[in-house]
Amino acid sequence: MHQQILILDFGSQVTQLIARRLRELNVYCEIHPWNKIPAISELVQGVILSGSPFSVHQEGAPMPDLNDIYNRLPVLGICYGAQLMAIQNQGSVVRSTHREYGRALLNHVDGGNVLLNGVSMNSQVWMSHGDTIESAGSNAEVICSTADVKFAGYQIKDKSHFGVQFHPEVYHSSEGMQLLKNFVMNVCGCTGDWTPAVFVDETIVELKNKLGDDNVVLGLSGGVDSTVAAVILHKAIGDRLHCIFVDNGLLRKDEFDQVLADYEHMGLNIKGVRAADQFYAALKGLDDPEAKRKAIGKTFIDVFDEESKKIENAQWLGQGTIYPDVIESVSASGGPSQTIKSHHNVGGLPDYMKLKVVEPLRSLFKDEVRRVGASLGIAQHLLARHPFPGPGLGIRILGDITPEKVNLLQQADAIFINALKVEGWYDKVWQAGVILLPVKSVGVMGDERTYEQAVALRAVSSTDGMTADWVDLPYSLLAKVSNDIINQVKGINRVVYDISSKPPATIEWE
């Protein structure tokens, strides 16, 4: 049992970043939608109110009764949460004369305020709002401001209730982590006792109780998430975990054999299943990204259904689902966040598949998964692997999928990834890959005219997958990769580099 911070989700796309920051402080937290507030146990030390896509003046905007929380616990309102708290404290919020999005600098900081201890003058913060706080109530005082926003931060006097108009949870707020630490540690009194090792111990106990003597079938991909999920399940139930690695025909070059070799000495029950033809058949003629994802997901389920029937007493399907998968498919706890895209391993199973789902990593971000994996003793080269999408190259081939296109992309991707490793860039990049574009371009090779495919290189830096910046790779490296792809992969005559960040783009193209 751990001290907890309750985060109420009002629909912001970055609500889960609040949780991630608190996890970095080893503070346990839970996210719940604003309209499904749980009973407040004695373990809850404080509450954070998230941002929202709503305006407080908008019809249907979330307006929950928070009096019980206000009367019992410290509260930190962020953006919409700060505006909501101001209104509920008899203050006022008005439409901004201009929308305020992006970087701002604090030009007033009350350094004596407990929330701002260690936050410096001219600290950069990140704004994202169309309304502004005109008053937070007669008993509220301003604790920080920017040139354009007087109530950048406030405290309700004689109470541990704070509001900030900016987003301390995003990396663009340079000292946002210090502010969050001040709230959970100095205001709420959390001690930071929720560590990766504690998560492992508690999860193993939970899995033993949940799974009993049942067998579990798990889809092992070779990626970080499925690797850590497999090892933690194996520690809980041993040989009753049956790992299935499916060759869906959309893996990277030689990945099927490499993954099986990587796990040969880890003591896991692993079976490799070659099913590329099934996936290609399901994808034939499809070019819509969502249609492709769903076809890949359905075929994945079909293959697992067939394999699971061969395992006696197989009652569960284990998956390496993590928080970003859930976040981008639906709000993490059923709140109002908008759906960005569907994920092949999120959303349950069809009725005909008689397996229940167990997802031991569902509450973790990618960096947390890696820390948990390290505490489990998993080899670093496995934990350092770049994320690879569940649908594989199926969403890196824009348009319809054919074996010929897959072969082209596998060759180009292998050249790019190998060059990153050779030049010492692989571990500096969060995720990298090649995208096969649905266009052809004219080229000249020797004295001959060519009309062949174009590919885009993609390399991003990130810490959680929720936001990402393109990596400024050396021109010499890009030039070599381009030259090698064009010379070695027959059918590709043009290479471009993607320099868009997330947001507004996503890491993958589909």
Q: Catalytic residue positions?
A: 79, 167, 169
Q: 3-class DSSP state for residue 61?
A: coil
Reference 48, options 86, 103, 92, 10; nearest CA is 10
Question: What type of residue sits at position 147?
Answer: A
What is 343-404 written as a DSSP string?
-TTSS---TTS--EEE-TTTT--HHHHHHHHHHTT--HHHHTPPP--TTGGGGTB-S---HH
How far apart are alpha carbons 266 and 477 in whole angstroms? 35
Reference 63, options 40, 91, 35; nearest CA is 35
* Structure tokens given for 172: 């663009």
- Say if residues 168 and 78 touch (Cβ distance below 8 Å): yes
Q: What are phi and psi of 468, to 5 degrees?
A: -155, 145
> How open is the CA angle 391-397-402, to the nearest 5 degrees?
90
How far apart are alpha carbons 302 and 319 in whole angstroms? 15
